Amino acid sequence: MATLESFRPRLRDRAALGGVVPPVSLLLVAGAAGLLVGSLRSEVFAQLTVQGLALGAVYGGLALALVLVYRATHVVNFAQGELAMATTYVAYQLIHWGLSYWEAFFATLAIAFVLGLVLEVALVRPVQHRSVIAAVIVTVGLFILIDGVVNWIWGGDFKYMQSPFGTKVYSVGGVSIARLYPGMLGVVVISVLLVWALFRFTKLGLGMRAAALRPAESALVGVRVDWMLAIGWGLAAVLGAVAGLMAEPSQFVLEPTLMQPILVYAFAAAVLGGLDSPAGAVVGGLAIGVSLNLVVQYVPSISSELQAPFAFAVLVAVLLLKPSGLFGHREVRRV
């Protein structure tokens, strides 16, 4: 088809993104370099950075769950954090019944998947096309409902789970780091990579991406769009469960409010990365985690009580200055 070749010069894959990527990656490289330099100069800084990355991975995991749900159904799931908290209680119960930590971990992920799937089919699908407000209220109702169920079954008092990573402390170049933090980071990163691979390399993942991008056209090629969206919710619940399970050892106790502040950080992370960008959610989570940790330590006027307001400030600033976030696509406003 020589005629076609001549119609348009061949474009590089990334040409469409070309204008955006360099400044953002420069920013990220500069940030990473700053963290490295700081870590080499100060032991406390290094410890805070590692801890911040681990917490940030948790925020990023939950943010990715939010982004998956948003991409699939254009609903922001306010109950995502509570769902993650509830599945963490499931794991607690399974361990209590005698499963080992990792057996309970994987069993919980399976339960979370089914739970996410069922919630989408039963509650979200009927209101999804009605209005933003209706969908938000349903997830808000779900928030209250899940909170109530957990309080009802397990009570509001602290529960304790044995940490999957033990209490061992590594020494890296003279800096002592609890095994917990690289452990958290590793588990979340592996989960995220698996989800990414599923989306990127499998037929199911392709169907899910297509269904989220263009539901009508996807149905025409035989994709079961409804199922794809429900599976998207299921996967989001799995990622949320991973985030919840990894958040628990970092807080040292399990209580029903476990994920509420984390949900706010995850919102900030998702918006920072771009609400429709999975990679952005993870990067945003890491950035929020590290900066919260460092800011609280080094900026005297921002104490730990101001973490949520700080995340709020980041969220609002991003929304006002660059609503599409670092990696997101600009949303076309329909009239």
Site for another protein in 134-173 (CB under 8 A): 134, 136-138, 140-149, 151-152, 155-156
Per DSSP, the residues of 190-222 read HHHHHHHHHHHHSHHHHHHHHHHH-HHHHHHTT
Contacts of 154 (CB under 8 A, 6+ apart): 89, 92, 93, 256
Burial class (CB in 10 A: 0-12, 13-18, 19+), 127: middle
User: What would the two tokens of residue 74 be?
Assistant: 């254009």
| Segment interacting with another protein, rule: CB under 8 A, options 31-39, 69-77, 159-167, 171-179 | 69-77
Nearer to another protein, 22 or 126 (CB): 126
Q: Does 316 bind another protein (CB under 8 A)?
A: yes
Which lies closer to another protein via its Cβ, residue 98 or residue 335?
A: 335
Of residues 17 through 56, those in contact with another protein by CB under 8 A are none
CB atoms within 10 A of CB 281: 34
The CB-side HSE value for 321 (13 A sphere, CA atoms) comes to 9
Report whether 79 contacts 139 (CB < 8 A): yes
Interface with another protein includes 330 (CB under 8 A)? no
CA separation for the pair 335, 326 (Å, rounded): 25
Shortest distance (Å) from residue 13 CB to another protein: 6
Residue 126 is a binding residue for another protein (CB under 8 A) = yes
**Residue type at position 46:** A
Smallest distance from another protein to CB 240, Å: 17
224-263 residues near another protein, rule: CB under 8 A: 224-225, 260-261
Q: Which range, of 19-27, 124-132, 243-251, 286-294, touches another protein by CB under 8 A?
A: 124-132
Sign of the dihedral through C-alpha 103, 104, 105, 110: positive
Q: Are 256 and 168 in contact (CB under 8 A)?
A: no
Does 332 bind another protein (CB under 8 A)? Our answer is no
On whether the CB atoms of residues 314 and 268 are closer than 8 A, the answer is: yes
Query: What is the number of residues in the chain?
Result: 335
Q: Which is nearer to another protein, 175 or 306 (CB)?
A: 306
Residue 244 identity:
G
Nearer to another protein, 168 or 200 (CB): 200
Our CB check for another protein shows the closer of 8 and 41 to be: 8
Determine, following the binding rule CB under 8 A, whether residue 69 of this chain makes contact with another protein.
no
Residues 264-303 that bind another protein (CB under 8 A): 264, 267-268, 271, 275, 303
Q: Does 315 bind another protein (CB under 8 A)?
A: yes
Query: What residues numbered 195-224 form the site for another protein, per CB under 8 A?
Result: 203, 206-207, 209-210, 213-214, 216-224
Under the binding rule (CB under 8 A), the answer on residue 65 touching another protein is no
